[in-house]
Amino acid sequence: MIHDAAFSDPARERRIFAGRLFLTALVITVMAVVVVFRYVDLQINRHQNFATHSDNNRLHVRPAAPSRGLIYDRNGELLADNRPTYNLTIVRERSKSLDELLATISDLIEISDEDINRFTKRLKRRKPYEQTPLKFNLTEQERGVLAVNGFRLDGAEITARLTRFYPNRELFAHVIGYVGRINERESQSIDSIAYSGTDSIGKIGIEKYYEEQLLGKVGSEHVETNARGRVMRILESVGPAPGDSLTMFLDSRLQKVAYDAFEDERGALVAIDVKTGGILSIVSAPSYDPNLFVSGISQKNYSQLINSPDRPMFDRAIRGQYPPGSTIKPLFGLIGLHNNTITMDYTINDPGYFFMEGIERPWRDHNSKRGGHGRGVDLAEAIIESCDVYFYKMSVKTGIDLLSSYSELFGLGNITGIDLPGERPGIMPSRDWKQGAKQEAWFNGDTINVSIGQGFMLATPLQLAVMSARIASRGKMVTPQLVHSINGVSKVSEVTTTDLEINSEYWDYVHKAMRDVVHSTKGTAKGISRGLDYEIAGKTGTAQVISIGAEEEYDSSKIDKSKWDHALFVAFAPVDDPQIAIGLIVENGEHGSSAAAPIARQVIDAYMKSRPEKDSLLLASDSATQQGGR
Amino acid sequence: MYRDDFVRRMQSPGGDRRTGRSMHLDIPLLLILAALCLSGLFVLYSASGQSLYLVKRQAVFMLFGFIAMITVAQFPVRFWERWAILFYLIGLFSLVAVIFFGVGAKGAQRWLDLGVTRFQPSELMKVVVPMTISAFLGKRYIPPSLQHIFVSLVLILLPVLLIVNQPDLGTAILVFASGFFVLFLAGLRKRYLVSAFLLAMAAIPSLWVFVMRDYQKQRVLTLLSPEDDKLGAGWNIIQSTTAIGSGGLTGKGWMQGTQSQLNFLPESHTDFIIAVLAEEFGLIGVLYLCALYFIFVGRCMLIALNSQSQFGRLIAGSLSLTFFIYIFVNMSMVSGILPVVGVPLPLISYGGTSIVALFLGFGILMAISTEPKRIRMEL
């Protein structure tokens, strides 16, 4: 044996070792128990917590964007569509060499440095398996080139997305409005769940007013993701429900006629279906292309729109407040007759001016040569020839209180309740109004100014159209409506209104006077009567932009066009059975007769021509029902 | 005849194990080993994301391990006692070679490239260091004298420092422990034990300041409050405890563990594989594995107790303890009661060198277990 072994004591060695091993066995048993208890604690006592945590880890809910409801006109023509736009995207982990890929793509289609810069910025924030957009809105040609060369573009993909598209471009910009990217302010007020799959929202017009209906219902996909966030599988999915489709009362052919009729003029026109209150056409000119806003308008385009002196973004039809001028004369006449402050036989003498007791300054008659309309001017003549002095006199007899309260029944001074956001109320002056707005008492002079639609009085073209429709319908409370049906179901108006009770004699009288505005040889709008095979009732109006002194003569050749008078016209047709009522203004158009009335004639002509197809709405709502699921 | 029968009976205390004995194999150890390896491959298939490639490689390593184990077992125990110092020198030389020719990953240089395969000398030292200390102390008086303790410590610390330098703190601690266990089992006096303990306590601050790298410190800090850094260093612990806890009693089923299959669990097929097992097979799976390990360690300790020589006792005892420490450290770090150190779960975690090194140790255990009984009376 080895040298030490001679002295070794195997029994002692064994005994000591056994003792140590026993000690060790004890210690490791304790240690083992500790570890096992740790696992028991985690897996039994705290199992529920960890199971939840584990599910939260892997389960995510991914929104599925609904497609926005479509908007049709009364004939089923699309006013707002969803169109696929094509973007070129890159999935980094699938390309062999990113630089090479970008170089190849730049050889095929035009890629600007800006595109590349934005792409590189985005790339940093995305995960390698995610799509990073390189170029938006590919043209058909670009798509073709890329598709043909697809075999050498590993990692590049063309992805389609639905984007709002307005096929009529500027024609319906103000009324339909547009959608745009949800901004920060909006994102705070919207329901973040409902919008989780959507990045745009109705900004103005119908798109905004009916946002809730158009949006649709977001779908959801419960997906399982791995630690890097990549979707491994879809566990459960609830498909999105498309937004409701809207069918408008609008007629796009009429709309086009009306818009084109304005040519280069600024102005607005509203045409109402007298029977239903449905808006047939609502135009504010000039307009703009709403498609510019859908995926974010460029700064250049935006400042161009904002800085244009013609203010194309301004919706004159519902937000433009103008003095209605003489267009309110038939209404005031009617009020006078109804309240017996004048009679159909009441006549005045018009020397061309009007003096009121205690006031030195005369009120001029704007619509006559020096000398006035002469003797024996009754209400009909005052309407037909637009005699101011008659209304100066009758207004003093009637008083502002009656004029004001009855005018409101005809839609003036209050919002009409059209289904559009941002409508302005205009002003129908009254004692209370003046006290509130000016802290001044009402003077008779104020009444005289109001009597010819001037002074404090303001109305929107929509209000004029409503007034005209209520006159045309002999006092029915026609309420303007844009949307006819939602998903093919007619919108039921919640407001029940009581119609005005006015003696039919007076209606006949005023209708005849308005007819004669167009059809009699003395009528201010006789110019549009040529070739008419039906009858139009109307009233011209002129609204002063600058005040002219009593002795001064208004001479357009001496002043800038932006200071010229506004031309107004209200009308309805046909006289025997009114169908369509119109209110319109041509800014700085000078005379209602020459600038505004011809536009109304064109629109009414177009309407009368397309009357055989009047039942198209019924057909349109049927097709909307069928296409609602689109 | 009488003598033959007597010898045979002495050699087979538990019954007839002639076959195993003649091949120098310890049948119980072999069976548990086989069970562990098969369970390991089973879990690995799921933990590696159904990678048949990794499973095959692991199986090949295990096959190599078995061959190495059987080969080692054929040599008499005295052979290993005699040549221990040579293996020690070879190991030490390899560790030095790693400094100059080593290849590595993640900032640590641990491997030697042998052309055919890469191997990690530090893993081998887990067997070689206790073997050397056992050989050294086996021939000396017990309890070991101060002088012998000093020599043993030098022999332990030389490779340990080289391994710390790689840096591989986990392996270094295990190598140190495997050497120290020999000293302990050899009957290191209690006063030395107490002073060693006090010394270790005193050394921790300087270890913290001078030896430990930032990432190692981070791991300790992370253990104390993993929630502080949910996506950084705390991620591993949060995800592994989540995996374990969400497994519950019966688990989510093989290959159904969401934490591991969806890559929330880091290192799921290597150091953190126990979390996969715990998630997919629940506490039942964990207890099954623990039972196998416990029986295995118990068998090893029994072999140590029955060993004929002091060398055999010491090396067998140290190897069983080291094996237990492996399991303990790994299961503790994955379940968040110890800081994350790179210690694989023996026989279950994927990794070639670690498996081969383990099997070499088991080979020595088998050699000891089948050592012919020396009959003292004959002397």
Nearest to A119, CA basis, from A108, A107, A106, A354? A106
Minimal CA separation from A30 to chain B, in Å: 11
Minimal CA separation from A11 to chain B, in Å: 10
Does the pLDDT at position B229 exceed 70?
no
Strands (E), chain B: 103-105, 108-113, 118-119
Does the pLDDT at position B136 exceed 70?
yes
Eight-state DSSP code of residue A68: P
- Chain A interface, best mutation among B82, B193, B258, by max A CB count within 10 A: B258
3-state secondary structure at position B379: coil
3-state secondary structure at position A59: strand
- Chain A interface, best mutation among B246, B368, B373, by max A CB count within 10 A: B246
B139, B186, B262: residue with CB nearest A232: B262
Distance (Å, whole) CA A482 – CA A278: 6
Distance (Å, whole) CA A581 – CA A472: 7
Buried residues in B308-345 as b, exposed as e (16+ CB within 10 A):
bbbbbbbbbbbbbbbbbbbbbbbbbbbbbebbbbbbbb
3-state secondary structure at position A75: coil
Distance (Å, whole) CA A384 – CA A349: 16
3-state secondary structure at position A65: coil
User: Are residues B283 and A13, on separate chains, in Cβ contact within 8 Å?
Assistant: no
Minimal CA separation from B283 to chain A, in Å: 6
pLDDT digits (tens, 9 = 90+) for B261-297: 877 888 888 889 999 999 999 999 999 999 999 999 9
pLDDT at A3: 45
User: Are residues B140 and A4, on separate chains, in Cβ contact within 8 Å?
Assistant: yes
Distance (Å, whole) CA A335 – CA A404: 10
User: Are residues B262 and A224, on separate chains, in Cβ contact within 8 Å?
Assistant: yes
Backbone angles phi, psi at B72, to 5 degrees: -60, -40
Highest mean pLDDT among A74-88, B166-180, B198-212, B346-360: A74-88
pLDDT band (50, 70, 90) for residue B9: very low
User: Are residues A31 and B328, on separate chains, in Cβ contact within 8 Å?
Assistant: yes
Beta bridge partners of A163: A83
Pairing mode, strands A489-490 and A483-486: antiparallel
User: Are residues B258 and A32, on separate chains, in Cβ contact within 8 Å?
Assistant: no
Q: Which residue of B has its CA nearest to A17?
A: B185
Spell out, as residue ranges, where chain A has pLDDT lower than 70. 1-8, 125-130, 227-229, 368-370, 492-497, 546-558, 611-630
Nearest to B320, CA basis, from B60, B26, B15, B8? B26
pLDDT at A7: 53
Could you tell me which residues come within 8 angstroms of residue A229 by beta carbon, excluding any fewer than 6 positions away? A127
Q: Which residues of B touch A50 (CB under 8 A)?
A: 241-242, 244-246
pLDDT digits (tens, 9 = 90+) for B60-93: 999 999 999 999 999 998 899 999 999 999 999 9
Mean pLDDT of B10-20: 50
Q: Which residue of A has its CA nearest to B331?
A: A35
User: Are residues A43 and B247, on separate chains, in Cβ contact within 8 Å?
Assistant: yes
Q: For domain A63-248, say whether CATH 3.90.1310.10 is its number.
A: yes
Distance (Å, whole) CA B294 – CA B323: 10
Interface of A with B (CB under 8 A): 2, 4-5, 7-8, 10, 12-14, 16-18, 20-21, 24-25, 28, 31-32, 34-36, 38-40, 42-44, 46-47, 49-51, 53-55, 57-58, 224-228, 232
Class of domain A315-555: alpha beta
- The answer to whether ipTM exceeds 0.85 is yes
Q: Which residue of A has its CA nearest to B280?
A: A43
- Chain A interface, best mutation among B148, B185, B297, by max A CB count within 10 A: B185
pLDDT at A206: 95
User: Are residues A43 and B185, on separate chains, in Cβ contact within 8 Å?
Assistant: no
Distance (Å, whole) CA A501 – CA A477: 11
pLDDT at A100: 86
Distance (Å, whole) CA B199 – CA B340: 24
User: Are residues B301 and A36, on separate chains, in Cβ contact within 8 Å?
Assistant: no
pLDDT at B10: 47
Distance (Å, whole) CA B202 – CA B196: 10
User: Are residues B184 and A24, on separate chains, in Cβ contact within 8 Å?
Assistant: yes
pLDDT band (50, 70, 90) for residue B223: low
Bigger pLDDT: A412 vs B230: A412
Helices (H) and strands (E) in chain B, counts: 15, 3
A20, A46, A53: residue with CB nearest B184: A20
Q: Within 13 Å of residue A266, how many CA atoms lie on the same side as its CB? A: 17
Does the pLDDT at position B119 exceed 90?
no
Minimal CA separation from A196 to chain B, in Å: 25
- Chain A interface, best mutation among B231, B310, B320, by max A CB count within 10 A: B310
Nearest to A326, CA basis, from A275, A406, A389, A248? A389
Q: What is the pTM of this model?
A: 0.65
Beta bridge partners of A231: A225
A5, A32, A226: residue with CB nearest B294: A32
Backbone angles phi, psi at B202, to 5 degrees: -70, -30
Distance (Å, whole) CA A542 – CA A279: 24
Size of interface A-B (CB pairs under 8 A): 140
Minimal CA separation from A22 to chain B, in Å: 9
pLDDT band (50, 70, 90) for residue B8: very low
Distance (Å, whole) CA B178 – CA B184: 10
pLDDT band (50, 70, 90) for residue B366: very high
Catalytic positions of A are 326
The answer to whether A354 and A404 have CB atoms below 8 angstroms apart is: no
Mean pLDDT of B349-377: 81
Distance (Å, whole) CA A239 – CA A564: 58
Residue ranges covered by each domain of chain A: 4-45, 63-248, 315-555
Q: Which residues of A touch B242 (CB under 8 A)?
A: 50, 53-54, 57
pLDDT at A629: 37
Distance (Å, whole) CA B91 – CA B72: 17
Minimal CA separation from A3 to chain B, in Å: 8
User: Are residues B335 and A50, on separate chains, in Cβ contact within 8 Å?
Assistant: no
Nearest to A544, CA basis, from A556, A533, A535, A557? A556
Backbone angles phi, psi at A408, to 5 degrees: -60, -35
pLDDT at A554: 61
Taking the CA atoms of B111, B114, B119 and B121 in sequence, report the sign of the dihedral they define: negative
Q: Which residues of B touch A10 (CB under 8 A)?
A: 310, 376
Pairing mode, strands A78-91 and A580-586: unpaired
User: Are residues B283 and A7, on separate chains, in Cβ contact within 8 Å?
Assistant: no
